[in-house]
Structures are given as C-alpha cells and as structure tokens.
A and B are shown apart, each in its own frame.
Chain A
Amino acid sequence: MAKPKRRAEPRIVFAKIAVHLAALTPLAILLWQVWSVAKTGSNALGADPVAEIEHRLGLWALRFLVIALAITPLRQLTGWNVLIRFRRMLGLYAFAYATLHFAAYLGLDLRGYWTQIFEDIAKRPYITVGFIAWLLLVPLAVTSTAGWIKRLGRNWARLHKLVYAVAVLAVLHFWWLVKSDIREPALYAGIIALLLGWRIWKRWARPRTSLSARA
C-alpha cells in the first residue's frame, strides 16, 4: 500500500533527533558506567551493580511512560499540536527501557536461577504486576506503526487506552518493592494520578460545557 509521503519539516527532524539523543543518554551513561566498572573495578554503579542497573532501567521506563502520558494534557493546555508527533517515540522508549529492565532481571539478576521467574510471577505481586505491565506494552509497541494505526481504525485508540493500566501497574510495581520509604513511588503515583485525572476530568467536563455552549 503506497503511503502519501509527507515531507518532514527540518525543524521537526532536528527536534526528533534531539529527543532521540536525550532518550538514549541514560542508556549511554549506564553503558559507560558498566564499561568503567568492568575496566577499573570502580564502584561507579555501587556495590551491587545488578540492582543499580535494574533499578535505573526500570526508573527510566517509568519516566518515559510518564512523559508520553503528559503529551496529550500538555497539547491541550498549550495548544501546541506538534507535540503529538513525539508521542510514539516516547512511548517506544518507555517500552525499550522496560524491556531492558526485564532483560536485566532475567539475564543479570536471576541468571542461573532464571526458572525462578515463574515462581516470582505467580507468587510475588510486585513482579506479577511488573510483568503484566510489560506484557501489555508489547501489543502497544507492535501496533505503533502507521500500517497498524490504519488497519485498526477506531480500535487503535481503544487498544492504546491500555497504557493507562500500564501506568497504574508500573507504579504499583515500584511501590510494592520498596521496604518502607515510599516517597519516590508516591511521587510517580501522584504524577500519574494527575495525568489520568486530567483525562477523566476532560471527559466528564466536556459534555456539560458543550451542552451549556449550545444552550
């Protein structure tokens, strides 16, 4: 199927390159630290590099999820419709970091005990919800292409509402693994509550305003 090719404006291209570079920076820093620890035995990643790598990849997955979820409210607040053109790549970065996070858990943390994953998913609520969150991101990532958007039509938007569930599960995953200091997960829970609350408010408020406008 031939797509009408729209010529990208240079400003958008530059902005996208900048976003890519910014999004890859945390990964680059992490890889550089891994290299430096391997090379010099420094403790750039702390005493337990595996835990640090897992934690940091997970945190960036959550951050990109939050940023992607912030696009729509920001667009509505500012009227900058151009923002929507960055949403897919931000969502895909959330998926990429989540996948690396999951891979680090399997490949670096469990390693020889990888079969423990089955027990963990079944018995540990924080791993259960984390795994489900990642699993739900998979169809969203797969259907993020222009072809799939077209093919799914109205259902595409319905399917991609799953991202709200992912956000809730991701923050639960963070909350439940913390021993007692819940300040950091609470911060993300608050941000996500705001972003989802905004949508609920918009949906709830819109019919009434349009009604009163009509009257």
Chain B
Amino acid sequence: MTLRDALNIPSGEITGEAVYRDRRRVLAALGLFPTLGIAGCSEAAPPPSKVVVTPEQAKSGFRTSEEQTRELDATTYNNFYEFGTNKDDPANAAKTLRTSPWTVAVGGHCAKPGKLSLDDLLKGLTPQERIYRMRCVEGWSMVIPWLGVPLGDVLKRFEPTSKAKYVAFTTLDDPKQMPGLRVPVLDWPYREGLRIDEAMHPLTLLATGLYGKALPQQNGAPLRLVVPWKYGFKGIKSIVAITFVENMPKTSWNMSQSSEYGFFSNVNPAVDHPRWSQKTERRIAGSASKLFAERIPTLPFNGYADQVASLYAGMDLKKWF
C-alpha cells in the first residue's frame, strides 16, 4: 500500500471512536460469542444461516433462532423522532449526536443516587448477546441481535427503596444535537417508564450495541432500553436519566394520545390500536432476496408470554393496554 492509498482509507473503515472506547465490552462479547464477529463483520455478509439456541436460552427467551433482520435495515429504518419523523431521518441526521462523554443521572427512591459516566454505570458488567424480536406498534417487526446488560443488574447497584414502584427514563434533550426537537410532534424530552418488576425482569436489556458493534446513533447510542415483549416505542433511546419513582410515570406516547398508547403497551394481538389492527405484523427479516416482507401473526407478549405473562396475572390487559 502506498502512502497515497493509506491516506485514502474511507472514514468508515477507521474504527469509530465509540467502538474504540467500547472495545473492552465489545471484545468481551466477541469472546463469549465467537460466531458473532463473523456475522457482524460486514453489511454484505448474509445473516447467520441458523443461530444455535440452547434449550436454556430458548426457555429464557434470550436468543431466538428466527431469521435476523439485515443490519442495513435495522440501522436505516428507525423511529427516533428527535432526528425527524421519517424512517430514514435518524440514519441521515443522527451523526450530530455526541455519545462521548455521556453521563446518566440515576436518582429518586434509592439509597445510592449518582451522576455517572457511561463506563462507571456499566463497570464490571459483561455485555451479553440477546437476539430479540422487536415489534413496532405500527405493525412491523424485526429480529435484532443486541449487546447489553440486564437492566436489573444496573438498577440493583443503586439500592432502590421500597418506595421505588416504577422506574422512569428520559432521553437527551439537546436541540443543538437533535434537530427534530424543534418540532413539537411529542412533548419533549422523550420519556418512558417501567414497573419495577418489569425493569428487574431478566429479559429487560440496557443495550449498548447491536450486530456485535457499538450502537449507531440512530439506534439510540450510547445507551437504550430494549423490552422485547412491549411495543418498540417503550425502548427509549439515548438515555440520560433513570429515576426510581413511587407513582406511574408519564410516558411520551401516552401523553400524546392516551387512548392509543397505554403505559404498559405490551404486545397484544387481542387489543387493536384504535386505528389499526395488531393481529398481524410485517416481519422485516431474512435474506436480501426477499423483496416483500412476510405478514405473520402477532403473538401475545411478542412471543415472550412464557417468561413475562405472570407479571400481569389478574390484570385486565384490555384495560391496562
């Protein structure tokens, strides 16, 4: 390679700062899941032919062997209204989001509140790979391999008190970095929440990566929530605050239209969105040869009923949608 060639390396081939900063966690994950490195090495690579899922993983819901969504699709088709309301807006506009340094304020009803850097927040926790279905309230779904840590493992460190009945999350609210905030399509900042037992559930993930890489900005870098049995909008992105609260917190979509978006928003084919059916979904996944996504039935709790249905025992899910 001549010097001239060396200087012409496309910027995309240079390790991104976020990845570099995240190298220990990413490498740890690669060590744990050696096949992931091959799967995630390039967008052109076909999705892994068949993910091997152990019976324990299947039982826990941690990994599904269903065909995965192409990385290109999962990173260019996003709802992240802080960067615009079109699906391709975030991928185009989110480069302005500075994900380092990043601090998260944890507070409310807990013994050890604090404002921590991302590294401190996740210190000592090894990212795990979780392959989850993601069902959007709009009626489409993906299968995405995430990297992250169980939210409960992080929350426990702050020693929530008995008054901590719910956990509230807030997204960054900086119009300089997020052009979409100038448009009042939602009451900013974006807010989400979980009941404490939902937050502590082993399926609930605080994600830092996908496809074996650090999270791209448009997917909610550097830290986002993934709750696979709930509609995708519950997976709040670019989190800057986590607060233990006593009462059910306000959540953005519920504030915007409470008749359409409930606090729980568990995936439920029996409860339609008032304006469209939730019985089926278009699955955006599979090989590139598939032009038209296939429509499949939507499952209660997005197929995670075995793991989470007990959380809602005795609750009328039509009322608490």
Contact = CB atoms under 8 A, between A and B. Distances in A.
Given A116-B280, A181-B81, A181-B185, A108 B292 contact: yes
Interface string A105-120: 0001111110010011
A46 B279 contact: no
Interface range, B side: 20 to 34
Pick the most buried of B88, B142, B279, B292: most chain A CB atoms within 10 A of its CB: B292
A111 B275 contact: no
A215 interface: no
Contacts of B185: 180-181
B73 to A, nearest CB: 4
A127 B272 CA distance: 14
Contact of A47 (B87, B257, B275): B87
Interface stretch (A34-42, A149-157, A161-169, A206-214): A34-42
Interface in B271-289: 272, 275-277, 279-280, 282, 284, 287-289
Contacts of A113: 280, 295
A108 B282 CA distance: 11
Given A48-B293, A177-B275, A179-B138, A109 B282 contact: yes
Nearest to A127: B276
B186 interface: yes
B77 interface: yes
Interface in B37-96: 69-70, 72-74, 76-77, 81, 85, 87-88
B186 A41 contact: no
A179 B276 CA distance: 11
Interface in A194-213: none
A38 B291 contact: yes
Contacts of B284: 47-48
Query: B interface, by DSSP: helix, strand, loop or mixed?
Result: loop
Interface in B164-221: 183, 185-186
Nearest to B288: A41
Contacts of A41: 287-289
Contacts of A50: 282, 292-293
Interface residues of A, number: 32
Interface in A65-120: 108-113, 116, 119-120
Contact of B77 (A40, A46, A123): A46
Given A47-B73, A120-B277, A110 B295 contact: yes
B295 A109 contact: yes
Contacts of B186: 180
Interface in A49-71: 49-51
A61 B185 CA distance: 26
B279 A116 contact: yes
Given A125-B275, A177-B276, 19 more contacts: A38-B291, A41-B287, A43-B70, A46-B76, A46-B88, A47-B73, A47-B77, A47-B87, A47-B284, A48-B87, A48-B284, A50-B282, A51-B140, A109-B282, A120-B276, A123-B277, A176-B275, A180-B257, A183-B183
Interface of B: 69-70, 72-74, 76-77, 81, 85, 87-88, 138, 140, 142, 183, 185-186, 256-257, 272, 275-277, 279-280, 282, 284, 287-289, 291-293, 295
